[in-house]
Amino acid sequence: MIGAPLALQAAEVASTTLSVTATVLDSCLLTAPAGLVFASLNTGVVTNQMVQGTVTVVCMAAKPSVTIKLEGGDNAIASQRNMKSVANDLLPYIITSDAGHATAVALGGNLFSGALTAVTPSIFSVYGQIPAGTYPAGIYTHTVWVTLNY
């Protein structure tokens, strides 16, 4: 047939759904990448050794009220932090929040209290000091729990 109109075919249509999800984190990451590592002490020499470490916090959202506490650990006696040797000898030390060692952080006391910004790492220096004295020979260790409340 000449001149007859061509039949139009209807277009086919398919559809589906696109799932959209998101997770908004309201968390903080707490690390202590640099611990307090004292050099070797001589048993017969009186020293007053000091070292520096860090505690780092990264929050996914700004936090208006944050505290970082340093607990006493297993070897604490009264208000004194102590490292312990395998022979159960104790080596006293203090933790301060300033390089001049003027502001000691008490057992369970705050290293920091205040606001933190989002995403930017907040780095807090901690300073350890072994008081002058002579101590029994040995390898001493201790673990301090760092607690972040937000």
pLDDT above 60: residue 1: no
Start-to-end C-alpha separation, the chain: 83
Q: Which pLDDT does position 45 carry in this prediction?
A: 78
> Which of the two residues, 5 and 71, has the higher pLDDT score?
71
Average pLDDT of the chain is 91
pLDDT on residue 115:
97
| Closest listed residue to residue 27, CA positions, set 71, 69, 63, 68 | 63
What is the value of pTM for the model shown? 0.79
Task: List the single range of 13-17, 23-27, 114-118, 146-150 with lowest mean pLDDT.
Answer: 23-27
Q: What is the pLDDT of residues 78-95, one digit of tens each?
A: 999 999 999 999 999 999
Per-residue pLDDT, averaged over 27-42, amounts to 92
Domains assigned to the chain: 28-149 (2.60.40.1090)
What DSSP state is assigned to residue 141?
A: B
pLDDT at 31 over 70: yes
| Confidence band for 23, pLDDT divided at 50, 70 and 90 | confident
Q: Report CA-CA distances (Å) from 53 to 20, 95, 127, 129.
A: 43, 10, 6, 11
Q: What value does the mean pLDDT take over residues 100-105?
A: 93
The confidence score (pLDDT) of residue 81 equals 96
